Amino acid sequence: MRKFTVGVLVALIFAMSALPQPVAAGQAGKGPLKVFILAGQSNMEGQGIIKMDPKRNEGKGSLEYLVKTPATADRFKHLVDKDGKWIVRDDVWIWYLGRKGGLTVGYGAKDDKIGPELQFGNVVGDYFEDPVLLIKLAWGGKSLAKDFRPPSSGGEVGPFYTEVVKQVKDVLANLKTHFPDLGERAYELAGFGWHQGWNDRINQAFNDEYEKNMANFIRDIRKDLGVKDLPFVIAETGMSGREETHPRALSLMRAQAAVADYPEFKGNAAFVGTKDFYRPKDVSPSGQAYHWNNNAETYFLIGDGMGKAMVGLLKGRPSQAGSSAAATPPK
């Protein structure tokens, strides 16, 4: 039997205590739960097809096709386990209008689809040691000019602007009910992601005021959620890719990019170009251009771009934790 001096034993115990220790699901890290809001219309809902259906262009562009095809499998391998089953993360959670659980596929517009949330959650989840919660608030066919209209733009406040604020506060006030594994853990509102634009780009009046409304939305949502300079990422509405030529579509995309360049938003807001994420219908499940041809790779890439942009904004930013009891629905 090997003998150790007291000094050696102390050194060994100290070294072992420095090794990473296993943690319970949802309890990694010692900091607050990191909460991200993802909002917008149908393309934030998510229209990327999961199942490889031969009747849909031989399955091309579906998530299952991308996972199984050698040319793309490596990029998507983190989504499946060794048996090829979809992974459910135990450190990234999602709440999407009452649907909730560990992050995995099926949190798109329906449970057979994905949206930007999937890869966005993987990117920010990998970045943080602490658990992450995504609060996804998206409804199809909604404009910024009317449905999400922010208070500072004047006129009637959009009902879905009000709903975003209400739903965020409701979820945060009831974290323990929605996610018992998180217990009494404090939270931090860490960022806001936005992917929307179709219902404004098909209306000239809405299109003309998009830049003003987008800037006001950022200012107002920060005020109403009580987080100064809340990191904000805007994903371009680039559904037709580099081939888009319609004047309204082009001007709306310029407006989205322009807002992120405002001096007041430098370092706390970012624009993610998405035109290069467009995949034509010959490699997609459909030819539904306004839903990115239902291509799962496109939605994956949008989420990836938004997640990386968010991480870029968050680096070096001090944590501002809040108690889960501190959030209450607005009056």
| Res. 321: pLDDT tops 70 | no
Mean per-residue pLDDT over the chain, rounded: 89
Per-residue pLDDT of 170-191, as tens digits, reads 999 999 999 998 878 899 999 9
The values of phi and psi at residue 165, to 5°, are: -60, -45
* SS3 at position 2: coil
| Res. 2: pLDDT tops 60 | no
Per-residue pLDDT of 264-274, as tens digits, reads 999 999 999 99
- According to CATH, the superfamily of the domain at 23-326 is SGNH hydrolase (3.40.50.1110)
Classify residue 75 as exposed, middle or buried by CB count within 10 Å of its CB (0-12, 13-18, 19+).
Answer: middle
Give one DSSP letter per residue of 171-182, joined into a string. Answer: HHHTHHHH-GGG
Pairing of strands 132-138, 92-96: parallel
Q: What angle do CA 229, 233, 238 make, to 5 degrees?
A: 155
Q: How far is CA 119 from CA 75, 78, 116, 285, 306, in A?
A: 11, 10, 6, 20, 9
Helices (H) and strands (E) in the chain, counts: 12, 9
Pairing of strands 113-114, 232-235: unpaired
Distance CA 146, CA 159 (A): 8
At 148, list the tokens.
């999400």
Q: Where are the beta strands (DSSP E) in the chain?
A: 33-40, 48-49, 92-96, 99-102, 113-114, 132-138, 187-195, 232-235, 269-272
Q: What is the pLDDT of residue 18?
A: 36
Q: What is the pLDDT of residue 55?
A: 95
Query: What is the average per-residue pLDDT within 292-319?
Result: 92
At 252, list the tokens.
């709306």
Query: What is the average per-residue pLDDT within 141-154?
Result: 98
Query: What is the average per-residue pLDDT within 44-59?
Result: 97
Place of tokens 């998206």: 138
At 42, list the tokens.
């149908």
At 298, list the tokens.
């496109």
Place of tokens 């998405």: 274
